[in-house]
Amino acid sequence: MNMVEDSPDILVAFEMNGQPLPMLNGFPARLVVPGWFATYWVKHLAEITVLDHELDSFWMQKAYRIPASPCECVEPGATPARTVPINRMKVRSFIISPQDGARLAVGHPVVLKGIAFDGGYGIASVEISADEGNSWRRARLGRDLGPYSFREWSAPWTPAKRGNFSLLVRAVNRVGESQPLEATWNPSGYGRNVIEKIQVTAV
């Protein structure tokens, strides 16, 4: 793997919840690289070799790479002129409840719930929209369990009329990074963090 100077401390995990690491989770040991994509979280770790140069392997040289541009993207169908290894996770958020396709009662309040996370700067705010992103309001953040943890959020919402609604959520981290309304593109699809939405029906 390739690691750079701003990468977080790397951990070697050999237990999970006080028990030996299960086979599906990487027994006997796995790397944990907080804030970075799981391509670096090597399972079934047997040895570690320290190099003074970039690893020359298919995965690092060809597969796990993104465009070397500020947005880590190019125009759909285009080939990037230069690439770099995929690295820190982007800020993301999800609506967990209600589920996509849920039927809700008009005039009855519901609590929207979900999670947000990023590459280690920490979540500063989460906002929700019920009008296709024309207006946003802040959700309530749950307990901060650390810069690399999921941050729970919740927000009350009452459907005022019958019909279909798109509920959107976006997060902002502590360095001002957020999520785009339109998905960006790269050849491998890495780093997708477009604003997520679910559809619900008020009856």
CB-based contact 127:114 (threshold 8 Å): no
Closest listed residue to residue 39, CA positions, set 71, 81, 2: 2
pLDDT band at 154 (very low <50, low <70, confident <90, very high): very high
CB-based contact 33:86 (threshold 8 Å): no
Question: Which H or E run contains 12?
Answer: strand 11-13
Average pLDDT over residues 116-144: 96
pLDDT band at 202 (very low <50, low <70, confident <90, very high): very high
Question: What average pLDDT is seen over the chain?
Answer: 92
Q: How far apart are CA 1 and CA 129, in angstroms?
A: 39
Average pLDDT over residues 157-177: 96
> Has residue 3 got a pLDDT over 80?
no
Residue 6: the pLDDT is 56
Q: Tally the C-alpha atoms within 13 A of residue 4's C-alpha that lie toward its C-beta.
A: 7
> Encoding tokens for residue 105?
């009662």
CA dihedral 59, 64, 69, 73 (to 10 degrees): 140
Do the strands 163-173 and 123-129 form a parallel or antiparallel pair, or are they unpaired? antiparallel
pLDDT in tens, 61-112: 889 999 999 999 999 999 999 999 999 999 999 999 999 999 999 999 999 9
> Has residue 7 got a pLDDT over 70?
no
Beta bridge partners of 157: 110
End-to-end Cα spacing for the chain: 52
Q: Is 6 exposed, middle or buried (0-12, 13-18, 19+ CB in 10 A)?
A: exposed
Q: Domains of the chain, with CATH numbers?
A: 11-63 (no CATH), 92-202 (2.60.40.650)
Residue 56: the pLDDT is 87
